[in-house]
Structure 1
Amino acid sequence: MKPTYLTQQSIAEFISRALAEDIGDGDHSSLASIPADAQNQARLLVKGEGILAGVELAGYIFNAVDPELQVEVLLQDGAQVKYGDVALTVRGKAQSILTAERLVLNCMQRMSGIATYTHHLNSLIAGTNAKLLDTRKTTPNFRIMEKWAVLIGGGVNHRFGLFDMIILKDNHVDYAGGIRQAIEATQRYLKEKNKDLRIEVETRNLQEVQEALATGGIHRIMLDNMTPEMMREAVALIGGRYETEASGGINEQTIAEVAKCGVDYISVGALTHSIKSMDLSLKAYKV
């Protein structure tokens, strides 16, 4: 089951905007050099190692450019790939293949990089109860695909945007005058607006954790930039009354120790903002 943000309409709108950005008034390189009736084929070659992502999206892109292009998928999203693997082949009008090439590669390279890093971090917390979360630290206008890639890599999506969950972060708390004030103002707002949104509050120390617990009416407590010792104490204080999420500068060197603190979730912004794209290429070949 796909997440609610991933609809045929949202995918189609993304592809339409991306193609308009790239093509403008025409792919003049292909139009100028390739006969309009020329037919050809190409392979999508893997030139790295990791988890493949964006295959399904590639099919939608080829179809949007030219519904008569024939795509044969050889490796599905989530496949473990190595150098030399062929992910898919595409056959049809040569001009169409060339026009779709860059958007397909741009999307799949970044999505595969995200899926690969997500899979790697997940492997480091295997055997614990912690689930790996993404964040809103995404590329503008590419969030749908980046969060989709996290799912393909075995991670869990956090809120999609500002509209589908409330997170009272440090600045919200400071502007509101404190943890209690921020939570109570939020509860009043949701009641007045007749909105049913989950509430998470960020805490920076044990005093703020205790204040969040005393106020109540929330769903998750974020433990931000805490030492493992403080985090374990915070988890014990919360005692399962609310979900817990560790956040703040967590990386592959520290994530295993954080997971052992007993938190339910670990959010890592680097899943989407600091990844290395997988090297892929689309190459013409003769039958």
Structure 2
Amino acid sequence: MEAATQLRIGYQKSSTLISLLKAKGTLESALAPHDVKISWHEFPNGQPLLEALNVGNIDLSADVADTVPVFAQAAGARLAYFATEAPSPTAQAIIVHQDSPLSSVAELKGKKVAVTRAAGNHYLLLSALADAGLKFSDIDAAYLAPADGRAAFENRKVDAWVAWEPFLSSAQQQLPTRTLADGTGLADYQRYYLTSAAFAEAHPQVLQSVFNELVKAGEWLRTHPREAAEQLGPLWGNLAPQIVEQANQRRSYDVRAVKPESLVEQQKIADAFFNEGLLPKRIDASDVVLWKPETAQ
């Protein structure tokens, strides 16, 4: 490997395992023998994160929801999937205020719903609406980033909000809310770690080291839930440990290699967005590079 390889890592607030590795300096230690220099770049959500990956401003993306790579692929990105977390369907949900007159997803027809464009919660909303016999055009969608979605929901500017963790648990514990639907039976909510096809080919050992540390971080979090919550709370805007612990209980953090069969749900997502006119072109979700790790150390 050439000297002083640069590894620019993009992440977002919900990038739990990467956030833990960043806070502890774990990746710097693991990659030091390979003369890799890391820089960290935070993004508000997954869409701008993968846009930065597509144009070469970062080399590696921390976990993003399964919907995000579909939109990046439609934009022409040559992606390489290098890890995934096992499905976590209850880590996102459609919520309303406790005193809302709405009691079902079907009653969202004509209502204003806050959702983040191209995020995992966007697919949950599509899937839940379809299950209720509605189209996306039957609602008034307000495309908002998580913080803005929370503000709009709290101030009753929208009738419902589609949130993911840790924003979901935060709202549920700080506000009186009800859940109309989570992802159970509707959206698997797998989170993927990505890089460019070119970086995967040029630096497989860097990806192997990152993969190994992600596996270990996931195992540590699952066996140390309270300690993890206390470490993550300050990184997530000083959230109380009990909020973080609830959020983490809904995420699998089971890091594994991406296999071709993992992309079946990706194709379902792509087709759902295309059929609603929300994806600019039909894509083949399997037309990506699947990097294969060695057994995690």
Pairwise TM-score range, normalised by the shorter structure: under 0.3
Q: Which has the higher contact order (CA 8 A, sep 6+)?
A: 2
- TM-score, structure 1 length as denominator? 0.27
The structure with more radius of gyration = 1
- TM-score, structure 2 length as denominator? 0.26
